Structure 1
Amino acid sequence: MSASTPIDGFATRIRNGDGGGMISAWIGVPDPLFVSHLAQEAFDAVVLDMQHGVWDVVPAANGIAQGRLAGKPVLVRIPVGEFSLASRLLDAGASGIIAPMINSVADAEAFVKYAKYPPLGERSWGPTLAMNHMKLPASDYLASANEKTVAIAMIETRPALDAADEILRVDGIDGIFIGPSDLSIALSNGAKLAPDTPEMDAVLKHLVARCRAHGKFACVFGSNGERAGELLKMGFDFVIAGADTQQLRSGAASAIAAARKVQAG
């Protein structure tokens, strides 16, 4: 892959709003073959979920390679607080890192330290796979890495919501990713899981507006394709249209139902 491929232009497109509203796959099953299959579809990107999925670093690196082979940028959601993984996954060629439970400026700054090279952060040098994927010499990679990758802070708690403006002001935070399920639990003090409600929509629209005010992009998890479409209409730049396991089971259920319908007819 050369530095001019759409994969390595992903960061520029999402920052500039040139994606027209991107739809990404979301994969928790820790098998690079899942990436190979879903990356063949018309998704704009693929996210590997290390927080609630069961990916380890080696299969994640292979998953990143499978996405690149299919021409798709791959982002990774790391586990809570494991910022050192950000550097390793960027070294493997990830186009971006999503960090969950960023509740404060201090959390955001700690994340940036591992996701960006100086002067923004303190990312350690060693991007062998990334340079191989991009076909860049070391000097060119160093000069462009902060711009070619994105650091995305998740807003999913009441403290994070209250601190959203301050988090968005942190240099090196390129955008935010909203987790409506966790946010709905937090805002109801644990009373309900309600990610797709008018009350949550009001919060989401507020956060999109704050992103626009700070010149940052807004991402969000959609529970299914229809909800993803609603979120794109709401102004989000990057949405998930449901998780891999949901899509797998939905496809299986649809095939079984079709077979039984023909059998009964």
Structure 2
Amino acid sequence: MIEPAMTLANRLRAGETIATAWSTLAGPVLPEVLVRAGYQAVTLDMQHGMHDFASVVQSIAAVVHAGGHPVARVPVGDYATASRLLDAGAQAIIAPMIGSVEDATAFVSQIKYPPAGTRSWGPGRAMELQGVAEGQAYLMSADAETLGLGMIETRAALETVDDILAVDGLDGVFVGPADLSIALSDGARCEPSGEEVQQAAGRIAAAAIRVGKIAGIYCNTLKDARRARDMGFTFISWASDQAIIRAGVSALLDPFAEG
């Protein structure tokens, strides 16, 4: 059984900073390798990545067996899949484009058991991966030990972030800086590292911290990741599997090409 103090939820609530790799390439081997190489968590992206339901389910098990925390980002509005992935053992779900209280409420409804939500019962695989033998034990801890993070990446979400964070059962927020940049510039630019977005990210982190909820963010550069940590973000994505591979290849081949 996973020790309660070692769950992703409790580590983040205790103020620990967790770095997650961002997995876009389908298949369980690479997420496992990323954990064994040092990442504490891997986020499996179904929205823009190549993952489908089967590859995420396989990758969740691989990440757990490697000693990491599996997280999944579902497609926009696909809250039914969010519930299924919790049943498969995901420890957190990131929901994109949460732009209103209504969006956040609909998301929470699918990922939390009554009375907070309407999640349907069927967590057999999650119980196996967590080493929980009794359904009652899982039921009593599931809502606290599985996280729902709503992505703040639109002008409407930024303007109502306090109301979104007030939704009972939403565990925190996750900043999508690319879409937020596009939204704030009315489609004129995509500058996730730009000052306007970084200032907005700081406001979002502060709002989450004020109410004791989790603040997460996707970072495109090491500078962004360090700045996010200084802002108070504790769940930080840096970097994607494709970026890691490119950086590794360059580190190997560039010195060789130079002779």
Name the TM-score, length of structure 2 as normaliser.
0.96
| Equivalent position amino acid for 2:216 in 1 | C
Does residue 207 (structure 1) correspond to residue 204 (structure 2)? The answer is yes
Give the C-alpha shift of residue 242 in structure 1: 1.9
Give the C-alpha shift of residue 245 in structure 1: 0.6
Give CA-to-partner distance per residue, 1:58-87, whole Å, 9 cap, x none: 111110000000110110000000000011
Does residue 47 (structure 1) correspond to residue 46 (structure 2)? The answer is no
Give the C-alpha shift of residue 224 in structure 1: 2.8
Check the 8 A contact 1:227/1:241 in 2, yes or no: no
| Equivalent position amino acid for 1:161 in 2 | L
Query: Percent of pairs identical after alignment?
Result: 41
The separation in 2 between residues aligned to 1:114 and 1:49, in whole angstroms, is 19
Give the C-alpha shift of residue 3 in structure 1: 3.2
> 1:4 aligns to what?
3
> 1:223 aligns to what?
220
Residues matched between the structures, number:
258
Give the C-alpha shift of residue 198 in structure 1: 2.1
The separation in 1 between residues aligned to 2:98 and 2:172, in whole angstroms, is 12
Check the 8 A contact 1:15/1:174 in 2, yes or no: no
> 2:14 aligns to what?
16
Give the C-alpha shift of residue 16 in structure 1: 3.0
After TM superposition, list the pairs within 5 Å mapping 1:55-134 onto structure 2.
55-134=51-130
- Root mean square deviation of aligned Cα: 1.2
Q: SS at 1:242's partner residue?
A: strand
| Equivalent position amino acid for 1:122 in 2 | T
Give the C-alpha shift of residue 149 in structure 1: 0.5
2:22 corresponds to which of 26, 33, 39: 26
Check the 8 A contact 2:5/2:11 in 1, yes or no: no
Give the C-alpha shift of residue 163 in structure 1: 1.2
| Equivalent position amino acid for 1:3 in 2 | I
The separation in 2 between residues aligned to 1:12 and 1:171, in whole angstroms, is 18
Check the 8 A contact 1:25/1:45 in 2, yes or no: yes
Check the 8 A contact 2:221/2:238 in 1, yes or no: yes
| Equivalent position amino acid for 2:155 in 1 | R
Q: SS at 2:37's partner residue?
A: coil
After TM superposition, list the pairs within 5 Å mapping 1:168-187 onto structure 2.
168-187=165-184
Give the C-alpha shift of residue 41 in structure 1: 2.0
Name the TM-score, length of structure 1 as normaliser.
0.94
Give CA-to-partner distance per residue, 1:2-51, whole Å, 9 cap, x none: 131665x210121231x1x2211110101101111101122221100000
Give CA-to-partner distance per residue, 1:120-148, whole Å, 9 cap, x none: 11000000100111121101001110011
Q: SS at 1:40's partner residue?
A: helix
| Equivalent position amino acid for 2:192 in 1 | P
The separation in 2 between residues aligned to 1:16 and 1:105, in whole angstroms, is 26
The separation in 2 between residues aligned to 1:189 and 1:231, in whole angstroms, is 24
Check the 8 A contact 2:165/2:208 in 1, yes or no: yes
Task: Provide structure 2 residue ranges, at least 5 long, that are not aligned to the other structure.
Answer: none
The separation in 1 between residues aligned to 2:5 and 2:27, in whole angstroms, is 24
